[in-house]
Each structure stands twice: as structure tokens, then as C-alpha cells.
């Protein structure tokens, strides 16, 4: 039985009513049950509602990321979590730019330098004003520009400050800014460190990525980023296997992958790699564990396969 601990548990309320904060004592495994029982009087009968599953369609195309994630006009999109953030960033940017949108991609941490064809232009400069000037003069030409502050010897790009992203949001020259705001060292599952994720306050949409291939994976350094933190959140001991409930806890727990999401931002989960054996069934199991517990902050959960076609196979709504 997981050790009990005392903490602040946050339950997102409907609409713009903000955060409900209460002091409770519970085990990690009880977080899901607590989320389900909070404010039960207001939710009478909700447990009988069926979750709605839809196969996304947009102008005759199945699997559009734009539709599946609910992208709106002039979004600042922050990607957090593990298991496909960089791939999602560049694939979404390509989809948007091919549709005539002007898109900026960047990171507030570090990313690998984009390969040929992943971006229209890569601009690297340590001066924020020069970056903004370049975007003003060239975004209409390239439609998709990736910006970074520095090239590192490791082959990665050092990202820009969250403040620069906030400044860009005041510009009228873009349709979307997509920010990789978290790091996971290539693992499919993570829990954020104290200083993570690095989400700009101007963010309008937070997308949390989780690799479905992490389900039933052993909790160790080779498979999971920050396994000790994952263990603390989920109650799974080191060396134990990650269950669908543990994966759901990484999403709904206040110290999980949505940590630090602005209260004004919409929140979407993206369960990636459903093209593995039984991947769709595994993703559905995780999604239903999340949404069955009425974590109302989450607008939808997309089930996807970013390195296959179509990139999205199903969207589940609460």
C-alpha cells in the first residue's frame, strides 16, 4: 500500500470558476478516487454519462491535428510531457503552414535542430529584438520559422525565454506559436522536475503528450524520465510496472505533466504511439481512467500516431 502523504490537491471546476483548493490526506492511488468524489452534489448523475468518442474529420480529411486538438485563431500552444513533443510540434506546424497559416516554432528548454523539411527557416540569435525583427520581416515569406537563442555542441538548440514568447503574442504577424516547454530525454513517460515545465504565461492551449508504449513498462532510469518522481506521484515502486491508473495519475496529479499550466489556458492530452500492438485499446484504457474521474480541466484526449498516417485516429471527449 502506498505511503500516505498530506498535500494540496487541486480540482479544476467548470468554466472560469478557477481552482478549488482543499487540504487532504491521501495515498497516490486515492487521487483518482478523490477527483471523482469531489463536489459530488454538483455532479449527481455524471457518472452515468458516456464518454464521447469521435473520429476527427476536417474538410474530408481524417486525422487532422488541427481539428483533433481544437486549434483556434492566434494560439500560443505549449507542449509538455513525454513521448513525441518535438514530432508533434513540427508536424502540427507543417499542417498549419500548408493551410496558409503563419507559424513560429521554438522551445523554452532544448530541442534537436530540425531536419531539412521540418521547418521553413531556422533563425538562431541571442538577441530577442533581432529575432522579433526577423519574424516581422520574413514570416510572410516562409510561413513557418523556427527560432532559437543558441546552437549547442550537442547538436541541440537552446531555446528562447518565456518572456520573449509572451512578447511575440502581442504581434499581429502570426497565427500560431508552438512551444516545446518541457524535456524528457527521449523517454515515453516523465514527471516534471521542480523547475519544469517552462510554460509562457501567454499560453492559450497546453497539450500534454504521453507515450502509450510506457504502459506496463518497468519504472527505471532507462525507460522513464525522473522515475523517482513518477514513483512518488503514482505509488508504483521502482522496478514495478506502470499501470493505466498510474499513467492517468501522471496526467491528473497536481505535480504531474500539466503542472504549471496557466489557469486561463485550455488543456488537452495527446496519447501518442497507438500504432504499437493493441495501442488503441491501451490508449482508450488510459483515457477512460482520466476522464471517468471527471478531471474537468481536460477538454479532450486525442489518440494519435505521429510517425504514421493518419496522425490522429480518435478523439475522446468527457
d(CA 260, CA 198): 8
pLDDT in tens, 108-157: 999 999 998 999 999 999 999 999 999 999 999 999 999 999 999 999 99
Answer whether residue 300 shows pLDDT above 80: yes
Give domain status of residue 10, yes or no: no
pLDDT at residue 172, as a whole number = 83
The average confidence (pLDDT) of the chain is 84
231: CATH: 3.40.50
pLDDT digits (tens, 9 = 90+) for 51-106: 677 765 544 344 799 999 999 999 999 999 999 999 999 999 999 999 999 999 99
Q: Using one digit for the tens of pLDDT, what is the confidence trace for 242-280?
A: 999 999 999 999 999 999 999 999 999 999 999 999 999
Indicate whether 15 belongs to any domain. Answer: no
Set of cell numbers at residue 205: 492551449
Rounded mean pLDDT of 16-40? 38
Determine the average pLDDT of the residues in 282-301.
88
Residue-wise pLDDT for 195-229, tens only, equals 999 999 999 999 999 999 999 999 999 999 999 99
Residue 16 belongs to some domain of the structure:
no
CB 81 within 8 A of CB 196: no
pLDDT of residue 20: 29
CA dist., res. 117 & res. 106, Å (int): 16
Q: Within a domain: residue 29?
A: no
* 255 falls within a domain: yes
pTM for the model stands at: 0.82
**Domain that residue 97 falls in:** 49-103+176-317
Predicted pLDDT at 55: 66
> Which residues, 6+ apart, have CB-to-CB distance to 20 below 8 Å?
10, 11, 12, 13, 38, 39
d(CA 183, CA 192): 8
All three cell numbers of 43, joined, read 455532479
- Distance separating alpha carbons of residues 149 and 196, to the nearest angstrom: 19
How many domains, in total, are found in the chain?
Answer: 1
**Percentages of the chain per state (helix, strand, coil), in multiples of 5:** 30, 30, 45
Judged against a pLDDT cut of 90, whether residue 44 lies above it is answered with no
DSSP 28-93: TTHHHHHHHHTTGGGGTTGGGSPPEEE--EETTEES-HHHHHT--SSEEEEEEESSSHHHHHHHHH
- pLDDT at position 38 is 42
Residue 36 lies in a domain: no
Alpha-carbon distance 296 to 39, whole Å? 12
C-alpha triplet 77, 78, 80: angle, nearest 5°: 145
What are the pLDDT digits (tens) for 155-196? 999 999 999 999 998 888 899 999 999 998 889 999 999 999
Task: Please report whether residue 183 resides in a domain.
Answer: yes
| Whether pLDDT at 15 is above 50 | no
User: How, if at all, do strands 144-148 and 103-107 pair?
Assistant: parallel
pLDDT(308) > 90: yes
pLDDT at residue 60, as a whole number: 34
Give backbone dihedrals phi and psi of 305, rounded to 5 degrees, phi first: -150, 85
- In a domain? residue 142: no
pLDDT beyond 90 at 25: no
Amino acid at each position: 500500500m502506498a505511503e500516505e502523504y498530506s498535500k494540496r490537491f487541486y480540482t479544476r471546476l467548470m468554466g472560469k470558476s478557477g481552482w478549488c483548493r482543499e487540504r487532504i490526506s491521501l495515498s497516490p492511488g486515492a487521487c483518482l478516487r478523490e477527483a471523482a468524489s469531489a463536489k459530488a452534489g454538483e455532479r449527481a448523475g455524471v457518472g452515468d454519462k458516456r464518454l464521447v468518442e469521435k473520429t476527427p474529420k476536417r474538410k474530408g480529411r481524417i486525422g487532422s491535428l488541427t481539428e483533433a486538438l481544437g486549434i483556434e485563431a492566434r494560439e500560443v500552444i505549449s507542449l509538455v510531457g513525454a513521448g513525441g513533443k518535438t514530432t508533434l510540434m513540427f508536424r502540427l506546424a507543417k499542417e498549419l503552414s500548408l493551410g496558409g497559416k503563419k507559424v513560429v516554432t521554438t522551445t523554452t528548454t532544448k530541442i534537436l535542430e530540425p531536419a531539412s523539411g521540418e521547418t521553413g527557416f531556422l533563425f538562431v540569435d541571442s538577441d530577442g529584438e533581432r529575432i522579433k525583427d526577423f519574424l516581422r520581416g520574413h514570416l510572410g515569406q516562409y510561413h513557418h520559422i523556427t527560432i532559437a537563442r543558441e546552437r549547442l555542441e550537442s547538436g541541440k538548440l537552446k531555446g528562447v525565454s518565456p518572456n520573449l514568447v509572451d512578447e511575440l503574442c502581442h504581434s499581429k504577424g502570426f497565427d500560431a506559436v508552438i512551444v516545446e516547454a518541457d524535456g524528457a530525454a527521449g523517454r515515453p513517460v516523465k514527471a516534471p522536475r521542480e523547475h519544469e515545465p517552462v510554460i509562457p504565461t501567454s499560453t492559450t492551449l497546453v497539450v500534454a503528450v504521453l507515450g502509450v508504449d510506457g504502459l506496463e513498462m518497468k519504472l527505471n532510469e532507462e525507460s522513464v524520465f525522473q522515475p523517482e518522481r513518477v514513483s512518488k506521484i503514482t505509488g508504483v515502486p521502482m522496478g514495478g510496472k506502470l499501470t493505466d491508473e498510474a499513467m492517468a495519475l501522471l496526467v491528473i496529479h497536481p505535480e504531474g505533466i500539466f503542472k504549471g499550466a496557466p489557469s486561463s489556458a485550455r488543456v488537452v492530452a495527446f496519447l501518442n504511439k497507438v500504432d504499437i500492438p493493441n495501442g488503441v485499446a491501451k490508449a482508450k484504457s488510459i483515457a477512460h481512467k482520466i476522464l471517468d474521474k471527471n478531471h474537468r480541466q481536460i477538454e479532450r484526449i486525442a489518440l494519435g500516431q505521429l510517425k504514421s498516417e493518419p496522425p490522429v485516429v480518435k478523439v475522446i471527449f468527457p
